[in-house]
């Protein structure tokens, strides 16, 4: 409840509509998938360093091959990218005033992330980016 100072009465706050709920759920799901992809990338980097240093005894035997982990990582990125796209679309459709609601920083950072993940996916699909050069940015 919110108190109205002019009339000294209380007004009921409306619960958020389905639009905002959908936007929040899509955003949280996208963030979860992209976080899982980041953790997968760290595992890939760790395994690659161990293999290149010939420290195979340090690697757990239950880990799958690097190619399989990389494939999983890009599937996570693809699913996260799709959900981030939907989250951005629902945000753009249902936001009434970007400046008044103080959402500029979230919108700008989300769009930058969308572009980065989009470039990464296009590079993987069109140019076959994979392996170490992808990790180092070459």
| pLDDT digits 0-9 by tens, 7-32 | 666 656 677 788 889 999 999 999 99
Q: Give the alpha-carbon dihedral of 82, 83, 89, 93, to 10 degrees.
A: 160
Residue 10, C-beta contacts closer than 8 angstroms, at least 6 positions apart: 1, 2, 3, 4
Task: Tell which residue, 26, 24, 7, has the closest CA to residue 16.
Answer: 24
Q: Whole-model pTM above 0.85? A: no
Long-range contacts of 64-68 (CB under 8 A, 24+ apart): none
Give me the pLDDT at residue 40, please: 95
Task: Tell which residue, 76, 2, 93, has the closest CA to residue 37.
Answer: 76
pLDDT in tens, 72-110: 999 999 999 999 999 999 988 877 776 777 778 888 999
């Amino acid at each position: 409840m919110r108190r109205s100072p002019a009339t000294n009465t209380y007004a009921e706050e409306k619960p958020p509509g389905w639009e905002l709920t959908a936007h929040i759920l899509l955003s949280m799901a996208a963030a979860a998938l992209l976080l899982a992809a980041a953790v997968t990338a760290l595992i890939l980097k760790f395994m690659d360093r161990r293999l290149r240093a010939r420290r195979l005894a340090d690697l757990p035997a239950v880990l799958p091959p690097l190619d399989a982990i990389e494939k999983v990582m890009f599937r996570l990125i693809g699913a996260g990218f799709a959900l981030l796209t939907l989250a951005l679309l629902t945000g753009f459709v249902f936001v009434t005033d970007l400046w008044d609601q103080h959402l500029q920083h979230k919108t700008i950072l989300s769009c930058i992330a969308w572009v980065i993940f989009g470039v990464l996916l296009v590079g993987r699909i069109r140019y076959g980016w994979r392996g170490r050069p992808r990790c180092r940015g070459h």
